[in-house]
């Protein structure tokens, strides 16, 4: 069976950025997604489309094909009151380099990186951590199967895989440690990792 639309695909891969390993998924804990549903970068899906189980891949994505170019338009200075919980500013979260999930004006969750902490405000960078980066992927197709109607309607309901560079999580995922967590609805993420969550997400420290 080949990688095609509405197939559940499992991939092992390594992502290198500027010559350094940035992320990986093993054959034992692969990245799983439904092909053609927008779960991954469009160009990434194009590169693996048509490949069969056991077939390898290697390709490079430019910033424009990946997470976009870095832009100063996504840097904002926010009042510390934006980081209040139970009436108190979470000073423990305001550490330079830390990624904090926040709600945008339309209610969606966006990721902001703390760039500078001032007495009354915080400079936040909402560029994707991989913005402006050239992404080099190598890997192979671990498995391919038909997606069920339930999976097509509600997404995958498999356990979370959190890697140091980037985690790939399903709905109701709970991740901790140092991995970045890309989660679905009703996600709860803990630890020092970044949390890329969907709706109704509660992200702690």
Q: How confident is the model over 81-134, as pLDDT tens digits?
A: 999 988 899 999 999 999 999 888 888 888 999 999 999 999 999 999 999 999
Instruction: Produce one character per residue of 78-110: b if its CB has 16 or more CB atoms within 10 Å, e if not.
Output: eebeebeeeeebeeeebeeeebbbbeeeeeebb
Instruction: Produce one character per residue of 146-156: b if its CB has 16 or more CB atoms within 10 Å, e if not.
Output: ebeeebeeebb
Quick one: pLDDT band at residue 157, thresholds 50, 70, 90?
low
Other C-beta atoms closer than 10 Å to the C-beta of 192 total: 12
**What confidence score (pLDDT) does residue 195 get?**
37
Domains and CATH numbers, the chain: 1-68+131-157 (3.10.50.40), 72-125 (2.40.10.330), 159-205 (no CATH)
pTM to 2 decimal places = 0.70
Q: How confident is the model over 180-201, as pLDDT tens digits?
A: 343 333 333 333 333 333 333 3
> Cα separation of 147 and 191, whole Å?
32
| Mean pLDDT of all residues belonging to the chain | 82
> Cα separation of 183 and 192, whole Å?
15
Q: Any idea what DSSP says for residue 148?
A: P
Higher pLDDT, 204 or 33: 33
| Three-point CA angle 167, 82, 70, nearest 5° | 50
Q: For 71-126, give the DSSP string.
A: -GGGEEEEEGGGGEETTEE-GGG--TT-EEEEE-TTS-EEEEEEEEE-SSEEEEE-
Higher pLDDT, 146 or 163: 146
Locate all alpha helices (DSSP H) within the chain, ordered by sequence: 42-48, 149-154
The answer on pLDDT for 5 being more than 50 is: yes
């Amino acid at each position: 069976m080949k990688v095609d639309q509405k197939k559940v695909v499992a991939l092992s891969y390594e992502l290198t950025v500027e010559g350094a390993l940035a992320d990986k998924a093993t054959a034992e804990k692969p990245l799983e997604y439904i092909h053609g549903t927008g779960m991954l970068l469009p160009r990434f899906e194009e590169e693996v489309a048509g490949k069969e189980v056991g077939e390898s891949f290697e390709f490079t994505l430019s910033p424009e094909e990946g997470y976009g170019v870095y832009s100063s338009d996504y840097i904002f200075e926010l009042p510390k009151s934006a980081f209040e919980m139970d009436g108190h500013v979470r000073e423990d979260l305001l550490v330079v380099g830390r990624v904090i999930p926040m709600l945008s004006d339309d209610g969606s969750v966006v990721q902001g990186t703390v760039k500078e902490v001032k007495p009354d405000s915080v400079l936040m960078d909402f560029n994707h951590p991989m913005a402006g980066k050239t992404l080099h992927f190598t890997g192979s197709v671990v498995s391919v199967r038909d997606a069920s109607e339930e999976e097509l309607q509600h997404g995958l309901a498999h356990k979370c895989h959190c890697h140091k560079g980037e985690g790939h999580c399903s709905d109701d995922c709970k991740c901790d440690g140092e991995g970045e967590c890309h989660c679905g609805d009703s996600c709860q993420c803990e630890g020092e990792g970044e949390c890329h969550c969907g709706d109704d997400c509660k992200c702690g420290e």
